[in-house]
Amino acid sequence: MSLLKKFKQYNNRHQLIQVGDKLVVGVSGGPDSVALLTMLSRMQKKESLELIVAHVNYGLRGRDSEQDEQLTRKLAKKLNLDILVKRYQAKERKGNPEELMRDFRYLFFEEIRAKYKFNKIVVAHTLDDRVETFLMNLIRGTGIRGLVSLKERRGNIIRPLLEVKKEEIVTWLKKEKVDFRIDSSNQDNYFYRNSIRNELIPFMEKKYNPVVKRKIFNLVAQLEEVSDLVENKLKKIYNDSIIKRKRNELILDQDKLSKLSIFWQGECFRQALGELKGDLNNITQTNVNEFYKIVKSTKGKRQKMRLGTIDLERVGTQLIFKIEAKKSVKQVK
């Protein structure tokens, strides 16, 4: 089956792209996003799609970053598409570099979508990305929902390449004679994701199962159904436990939480953090275990916990989550 046909079938099955959609397409210049844009352009006329290309130049790789931008601009021009480019100022930002760049990228995409009244943002995550994210979160420590964090649809963001392997994409691009860029920094195993991709997964394929990526992908698909069931039940449990909700503060009822199983306590904890800071990055099982102790403690004194920009304090039977003053984090879907 051709890659384009596979792409269309996955899209039809999940109904990600509809006739007349207006799509902001994130393109880095790498093989995944170049293939995504190329296939969308081939569907454009038949599906009456309106496309705009969005590219972030991080400026971290000198001449290579400039060449990424040049290739993306050239491709957009060839396909007769408008392109918007934004430069990232790394020196002005503090925190985990990977997370900061991701947040910057999605905020840029959302700004374009809102400004031009487009309805969806399309990104090029693949089967490989989903497997890598699963392993990263599993090793770091996470809940069920964290194991399926890359979904085909989340809010305005869609991911129509999730069933496609990167090697399939590269083979297709070469066959179609479409140019793309390779990010040399992807070989730097200092970065967590790169070490998973370049060291752990090849070891698992060689030592245990040559199709381990497909096995993990199938497991994630099953976990996604479980995650949906958890989310539906969690809504009621979580809302019942809320005492007070404000923009930068959330108060949960410790007494109600203490009567729940530790599974639901952990899910409520993650839900509260996600609501306040917009993501669950850097939240580990160690953090969740510390929360369990605070919920179950019979000590009368105040107990505190710091989670990045979030302060958690127990006062009596109130669990007070509060964003650190003057450092509120914008939510990124």
Residue 238 has pLDDT above 50, yes or no: yes
Partners of 2 in the beta sheet? none
pLDDT attached to residue 255: 94
165 and 248 both lie in a single domain = no
Number of other CB atoms surrounding residue 332 within 10 Å: 18
84 closest CA partner among 17, 27, 155 = 27
Would you state the structure tokens that stand for residue 225, as one six-digit string? Answer: 């159904």
Is 217 inside a domain boundary? no
254 and 171 both lie in a single domain = no
24 and 114 both lie in a single domain = yes
Q: What is the CATH number of the domain that holds 79?
A: 3.40.50.620
Convert the pLDDT of each residue in 267-311 to its tens digit.
999 999 989 887 777 788 889 999 999 999 876 667 888 888 889
Average pLDDT, the chain: 90
167 and 30 both lie in a single domain = yes
Residue 134, H or E segment: helix 127-140
12 and 84 both lie in a single domain = yes
d(CA 267, CA 177): 47
d(CA 61, CA 44): 33
Q: pLDDT higher for 190 or 113?
A: 113
Q: How far apart are the first and last CA of the chain?
A: 33
Would you state the structure tokens that stand for residue 181, as one six-digit string? Answer: 């860029």
255 and 167 both lie in a single domain = no
Convert the pLDDT of each residue in 9-48 to its tens digit.
999 999 999 999 999 999 999 999 999 999 999 999 999 9
pTM above 0.75, yes or no: yes
Residue 43 CB-density burial (10 A; 0-12 exposed, 13-18 middle, 19+ buried): middle
180 and 241 both lie in a single domain = no
30 and 179 both lie in a single domain = yes
pLDDT attached to residue 332: 38
pLDDT attached to residue 333: 36
Structural domain that includes position 277: 231-323
d(CA 271, CA 234): 9
Q: What is the CATH number of the domain that holds 304?
A: 3.30.465.60
Residue 40 CB-density burial (10 A; 0-12 exposed, 13-18 middle, 19+ buried): buried
In a 13 Å sphere around the CA of 152, the CA atoms on its Cβ side amount to 20
178 and 241 both lie in a single domain = no
pLDDT attached to residue 185: 81
Distance of CA 222 to the CA centre of its chain: 19
The tally of domains found in the chain comes to 2
